[in-house]
Amino acid sequence: METVDTIVIGAGVVGLAVAAELASRGLAPLVLEAEASFGTGVSSRNSEVIHAGIYYPAGSLKARLCVEGRERLYRYCEEHGIAHRRCGKLIVAASPDEHAKLEAIARAAAGNGVEDMRWLEAREALALEPALACSAALLSPSTGIVDSHGLMLSLLARVETGGGQLATGCRVTGIEAAPGGLHVDVESGGEAIRLRAVRVANCAGLGAVALAASVVGARPGTTPTPHFAKGNYFSLVGARAPFTRLVYPVPEAAGLGVHLTLDLAGAARFGPDVEWVETLDYHVDPRRADGFYREIRRYWPGLPDGALAPAYAGIRPKLHGPGEPPADFLVQGPDRHGVEGLVHLLGIESPGLTASLALARHVADRMA
């Protein structure tokens, strides 16, 4: 049995951030990734938005780590030459009936330490974005966009510089508490391998809860029930969106509504919607475009017919189901599950990309 000091399971943006932070502390992690490359799951199927920290309950991990992570991420991108832009976003009310929701969002943002939000009357919002339709809006100057692949490449380089390494095509099939450490079972190239580790971070994204539930020696009844929310995206074709900022409607249940985001080249895409699923199916049904047209035209009535094409879908690992209150990030350590050296990162959905560097520091503090 080969012995390694530290294992990180999952090479998405959060797993790589955790591994880079551990490497900076001299722990030289082995990163095990089931797929053929890093960042092919949740991390490659999102809006690439740097969130300000607006929507989350005060004091929650999502709120604290998003606000801290936002500033860490902007600073990291500047220092390491990662493409990004602090473009800002508008959260728009389609009618006066939604003004109370905007006011509640502004209060929540202030409670989370987001101090640069600005209320705009309709004429002020239209002065910034003439193609917009709204009765009022909130301007969030701290919101931006980032090249998530470039970020992950940089984090991987930090892992390797710190003596760690990435092993792809290595699916973790089980973890067992053992005297003096943890046994980690890995399937790679048709072979079964058992590793011994001192510490393990479970950053397996969509598979993190199932892996946590399978740990031999863990305290029973400590694993939450996983839920999966599929978000479909459509791209704008045959036209260029007349916006320089991101545009969001007021939030909906389980998501932030069908919003307009821009990539670093200025191309527009719309989504995600919310589709609760039980299997990991990434097909985008073109018929869902009808609902997208309806939602988008509430804030961009000039959207041309036939301008939306299926783009991609992402699936968010959630710890709450339909109709239930939103759940916080869950960073679960030995104090909860009873297995020394093991930390689970569960329900790491949005704003996981934004919070990744702060989340990595939070996890490393519990592991180092």
* Predicted confidence (pLDDT) per residue in 93-108, tens digit: 999 999 999 999 999 9
pLDDT band at 254 (very low <50, low <70, confident <90, very high): low
Give the chain's domains with CATH numbers. 2-47+149-224+327-367 (3.50.50.60), 89-141 (no CATH), 226-322 (3.30.9.10)
Find where tokens 């797993």 sit.
15
Structure tokens at 125: 């919002």
CB-based burial, 80-89: b 16+ in 10 Å, e otherwise: eebebbebbb
Rg of the Cα atoms in the chain: 21
Task: Give per-residue pLDDT as tens, 261-295.
Answer: 999 999 999 999 999 999 999 999 999 999 999 99
Task: Give per-residue pLDDT as tens, 1-35.
Answer: 899 999 999 999 999 999 999 999 999 999 999 99
The full DSSP string for 97-141 is GGHHHHHHHHHHHHHTT----EEEEHHHHHHH-TT---SEEEEET
Q: Is the pTM of this model over 0.85?
A: yes
| Residue ranges of E strands in the chain | 2-9, 30-33, 49-50, 84-85, 89-93, 118-121, 136-140, 144-146, 165-168, 170-178, 181-188, 191-202, 227-236, 246-249, 259-262, 268-271, 275-277, 308-318, 330-332, 342-346
Q: Tell me the sheet residues that pair with 348.
A: none
Sheet holding 84-85, edge to edge: 49-50, 144-146, 84-85
| Helix 13-24 × helix 352-367 angle, to 10° | 40
Quote the pLDDT of residue 253. 63
Task: Give per-residue pLDDT as tens, 29-64.
Answer: 999 999 999 999 999 999 999 999 999 999 999 999
Nearest to 139 by CA among 111, 169, 162, 109: 109
Find where tokens 């380089």 sit.
157
Percent with pLDDT over 70 in the chain: 99
Q: How many CB atoms lie within 10 A of CB 243?
A: 22
CA–CA dist 276, 253 (Å, integer): 11
